[in-house]
Amino acid sequence: MTTAAYTLPRERGIYYGGGWHPSKGGVVTPVHSPATGELLTTINEATAEDVDAAVAAAREGYRVWRDVAPKERARIMREMVRVIRANLEELALIDAADCGNPVDEMRRDVEMSAGLIEMFAGFWSEMKGSSVPFGPDMLSFSVREPYGVVARIAPFNHPFVFSIGRLGAPLAAGNAVIVKPPEQAPLSALRGMELLDGLLPKGVLNMLPGGRDFGAALTAHPGVDFVAVTGSVPTGKAVMRAASDRLKRTMLELGGKNALLAYPDSDPDKVAQAMVRGMNFTWCGQSCGSTSRAFVHEDIYDAVLERVPTYAARFKPGLPTDPETTMGCLVSKSQHDRVLGYIAKAKAEGARLICGGKQPDAPELANGFFIEPTVFADVTQEMAIAREEIFGPVLSVFKWNDESQVMADINSVDYGLTFAVFTRDVAVAHRAVARAEAGFCWINEVSKHAIGSAFGGYKQSGIGREECLAELLTYTQEKNVYINLEG
């Protein structure tokens, strides 16, 4: 793999106010491939000293953008969609090289990003208010207005989707946006910014890669009105605490420790396949929605477990930039160490390893953060892998025989993002879904998003809903107007 294969971002600055600027803090950071260790490039990182200038530029942009007619905003956003689609291959390849997910999967990420912006452009006429009938002498009606400047803070697992794909709702609503791409994989967002440069009025879209301290400074800045973060629960709490000082609005899409529940009437083969698909092994389990806890009824437990290794073996770790690769690597050494730590702990606590559990042997993968698809059976509630979000390719399988106990176990974690149930009995499926404390549920399905349908968490998995009309409305505030028409 050589860097010549990619078009890396050409600019070395941070982007705000319609132009590239040097970072005031002067921090230059190397960006390495997590698959090979190769130096991809160096970037300038924004620091707390850059926040004032970026926010001032975004406030200028907001004053222009809020007055652009929503239909015209939608036209410009469709132009963004055209540019993203025209550069899909290049953006997917950069993401694969930088974050370690397979390029084939990253193509879908880029297309999903384009599709999301396109959907919100199409929703422009849905930012409706309401009116109340009071007779001919008075009118009371409401309109929806943007908040101002939105900080959009992204995690590493789908860098392009969370940095660029999530622009649709805040922009359609008339806000200016400051994006902080993930520090582990900032390159696709920076290249995306280069490609989108000039389409929007100056200051409307701003792209500042930086670390946690920069994210914290951005969140706390008085000129930022709304903070949207996709990330871990501790980050969500830190953002909420910082935002509380000025009662800023927040949208929090956080972690998950999601359950798949298989009833005894379900087909063991389909359950085994679903358990593997639900783990999103292709991006190393680094997905908030992964069903990383599988609760399988004792009547089908052995039959399911017998089949799981065959399906897991279809995910073979390989170089992420190779189009044939079915499973990539973890994003960083710290993430790799963390996952290996959980595997060691699971063994020590008595879980039964049925496949994976180690780095692959292939010599070309020796310098990367790879781990084989890993499945532990006979997991019990006290074990760390039963309760903590690993965010790696590790599936925990539990045996159950009592419905009310299994639902209590499923709901016993603080997370509540997704839930999947497998049964042929629709009444049983509905009963399980009704009891599940999770924001997005599947019946006889796993992993899939349904764009237009609300995605978001119960409990500590987050606040707010994305990928749907509610996301657009969240970026608006309602203003009521009372008119006296007498005389």
Which one of residues 143, 238, 365, 441 is an interface residue with ligand NAD (CB under 6 A)? 238
Shortest reach from residue 242's CB to ligand NAD, in Å? 6
Shortest reach from residue 236's CB to ligand NAD, in Å? 7
d(CA 244, CA 249): 9
| DSSP codes joined into one string, 138-150 | EEEEEEEEE-SEE
Shortest reach from residue 181's CB to ligand NAD, in Å? 7
Helices (H), 360-480: 384-387, 403-410, 426-435, 469-474
What are the distances in angstroms from CA 355 to CA 257, 294, 298, 317, 343?
20, 15, 20, 14, 11
Which one of residues 57, 116, 171, 229 is an interface residue with ligand NAD (CB under 6 A)? 229
Q: Which residues of 71-94 are buried (b: 16+ CB within 10 A; e: fewer)?
A: eebbebbeebbeebeebbebbbbb
Backbone angles phi, psi at 86, to 5 degrees: -65, -20
Helices (H), 173-258: 187-196, 212-220, 233-244
Do 178 and 55 touch, CB atoms closer than 8 A? yes
Annotated catalytic residue: which of 99, 288, 355, 468? 288
Task: Give the interface segment with ligand NAD, choosing from 28-36, 120-128, 155-163, 398-406 (CB under 6 A).
Answer: 155-163
Residue 216 binding ligand NAD, by CB under 6 A: yes
Residue 448 binding ligand NAD, by CB under 6 A: no
Task: Give the interface segment with ligand NAD, choosing from 27-35, 249-257, 273-281, 469-477 (CB under 6 A).
Answer: 249-257
Residue 183 binding ligand NAD, by CB under 6 A: yes
- β-pairing, 176-180 vs 205-207, is parallel
What are the distances in angstroms from CA 315 to CA 353, 393, 452?
17, 10, 29
Q: Is position 284 annotated as part of the catalytic site?
A: no
Backbone angles phi, psi at 267, to 5 degrees: -75, 120
Do 188 and 161 touch, CB atoms closer than 8 A? no
d(CA 175, CA 196): 17
Q: Is position 437 annotated as part of the catalytic site?
A: no
Residue 212 binding ligand NAD, by CB under 6 A: yes
Which one of residues 87, 113, 157, 396 is an interface residue with ligand NAD (CB under 6 A)? 157
Q: Which residue is nearest to ligand NAD (CB)?
A: 215
Give the alpha-carbon dihedral of 434, 436, 441, 446, to 10 degrees.
-130
Residue 232 binding ligand NAD, by CB under 6 A: yes
Task: Give the interface segment with ligand NAD, choosing from 7-15, 166-174, 247-255, 399-407 (CB under 6 A).
Answer: 247-255
Of 180 and 221, CB closest to ligand NAD? 180
Q: Say whether 360 sits in a helix, a strand or coil.
A: coil
Task: Give the interface segment with ligand NAD, choosing from 98-106, 114-122, 179-187, 352-360 (CB under 6 A).
Answer: 179-187
Which one of residues 235, 282, 418, 447 is an interface residue with ligand NAD (CB under 6 A)? 235
Shortest reach from residue 108's CB to ligand NAD, in Å? 15
Residue 156 binding ligand NAD, by CB under 6 A: yes
Helices (H), 231-300: 233-244, 268-278
* Residue written as token pair 């949207």: 228
d(CA 30, CA 40): 8
Shortest reach from residue 390's CB to ligand NAD, in Å? 10
Shortest reach from residue 443's CB to ligand NAD, in Å? 21
One symbol per residue from 344 to 383: x for binding ligand NAD (CB under 6 A), - otherwise; what is it?
----------------------------------------
Q: At what angle do helices 212-220 and 233-244 cross, to 10 degrees?
A: 30
The residue type found at 149 is V
Of 152 and 297, CB closest to ligand NAD? 152
d(CA 120, CA 49): 33
Which one of residues 186, 231, 356, 373 is an interface residue with ligand NAD (CB under 6 A)? 231
Number of residues interacting with ligand NAD: please give it, by CB under 6 A.
Answer: 30
Residue 50 binding ligand NAD, by CB under 6 A: no
Task: Give the interface segment with ligand NAD, choosing from 95-103, 176-184, 361-369, 444-452 (CB under 6 A).
Answer: 176-184
Query: How is residue 250 written in tokens?
Result: 């927040």
> Which helix (H) or strand (E) covers residue 479, if one does?
strand 476-484
Count of CA atoms in the C-beta half-sphere (13 A) of 239: 31
Do 372 and 361 touch, CB atoms closer than 8 A? no
Give the alpha-carbon dihedral of 466, 470, 476, 477, to 10 degrees.
-130
Do 297 and 263 touch, CB atoms closer than 8 A? yes
Of 216 and 383, CB closest to ligand NAD? 216
Which one of residues 372, 389, 409, 471 is an interface residue with ligand NAD (CB under 6 A)? 389
Task: Give the interface segment with ligand NAD, choosing from 19-27, 86-94, 105-113, 231-239 (CB under 6 A).
Answer: 231-239
Which one of residues 180, 191, 248, 307 is an interface residue with ligand NAD (CB under 6 A)? 180
Task: Give the interface segment with ligand NAD, choosing from 223-231, 297-305, 376-384, 402-410 (CB under 6 A).
Answer: 223-231
Of 8 and 239, CB closest to ligand NAD? 239
Of 209 and 360, CB closest to ligand NAD? 209
Contact residues toward ligand NAD (CB under 6 A) are 153-157, 180, 182-183, 211-212, 215-216, 219, 229-232, 235, 238-239, 253-256, 288, 389, 391, 417, 457, 462
The catalytic site residues sit at: 253, 288
